[in-house]
Structure 1
Amino acid sequence: MDDIERLCNLAGPPQNGRRSLIGRKYFNENFERLLFGPGDPFSGGVEIRDCEFIACSTDSTFSISQGVHMQSVLFDGVRSPDAMMVSSASVLENIVVRGGKKVARLWCKPPSEGDVSEAVLQWSKAGMAHVELAIDLSELAAEDSLILGIPLSKLRWNPEIHVPVLASWRDSPSWDDLDLARNSLWRIFVTKVRNSGCAEGLFTATFPHQKSHIQFTEEMARIESAGLLVR
């Protein structure tokens, strides 16, 4: 089995037996899809370890699905037509995602209720409990990235690019005094965190070329002054 076949074999519904990709490096490759899992950790699972994907692209799906164990993997400058979708119902350790504004944005979210078995959720929770660093996105400048379902303490980010948001902000006595616009991205961020059932999340700040940038930075200053946002 060559590298591309091995990679393709990682995709699709859980199968009996372990599926793995270890110690592989890909440079400037174009993949029909870049899909890891879903996996069933109780029948072998999907393991990806010590791999690099540099300046690669995919014409379709780019995702890490539930039940996947991924460790020490680099995604550098990977491009796709949509976001890099990551399920937090996985075990992620020392994953580095980096690149400029034209690379795939990162969307990590918990699965919807009923989409993943309780056994897989507990497997993920137990595995992640021992992880110090899950994802390093400190060099990722892709617009509209977000991470939900992984504690902020297990993430490394760039405070000039990314902002932590807590669900509890909306319960703070000072929240209603901030005079945030109805269409405020900060309101949207807090709503996304609360709707996900998470206590906290990480989002990409706006960039100077975006229309909402001035409003975003002005409101951020008020949130910081209120003692809610600590970067």
Structure 2
Amino acid sequence: MKIHHLSSENSIVHKFINELRDVTIQNDRMRFRKNIHRIGEVLAYELSKTLKYTNKTIETPLAPYNASKISDDVVICSVLRAGLPLHEGILSFFDEAQNTFISAYRHHTNSENDFEIIVEYLASPSIEGKTLIIADPMLATGQSLVAVQKALEKMGTPKHIHIAAVIGATQGISFVENHFPENTDLWIAAIDPELNEKGYIVPGLGDAGDLAYGTKLQH
């Protein structure tokens, strides 16, 4: 798996990440969603450089023009619910893409710190031979992404997988690297060093889904 770490270089993405983390700003839900959306756009732009293109002649008012057009068949998969603003940011660039939606959440078993990943909902076109972009903002333990990838197997085998994330922990990234196929790229805005005892990213930013859409009752 090839890892593309955007925060390893200075860019505007640092502003968006800083505002997502800052407790004095992140409680503005609309701004929180907007910053994830903007990171999705940046990730989509960087990712677009690796896709395949073909030439196509288009007519301008003055003369024909030999234009480049993406030839990959793109499917964007959103991991509900925190993935929605990231999905929208990516979709604003890949506006002709097909879309997949899947639920994956932590179901706590014997204690607050023990959990399993439950996938209950999947709506997807065929992903056979296509370029799959999985949008999941928080890559903590990596178990959710692996559960999503396994659930998507029934929809076909993609030509290439791109994972788009906002913040990830080194432990979760290693877990994903060990479970995803080699033809996978990870596009991530920031990488944090550790997880706490509950499996949340430290320093991270908290619960992205709750910050974006409000708190929920626990299962």
**What is the TM-score normalised by the length of structure 2?**
0.25
The structure that is helix-richer by fraction is: 2
**What is the TM-score normalised by the length of structure 1?**
0.24
Higher-RCO chain (CA-CA 8 Å, sequence separation at least 6): 2
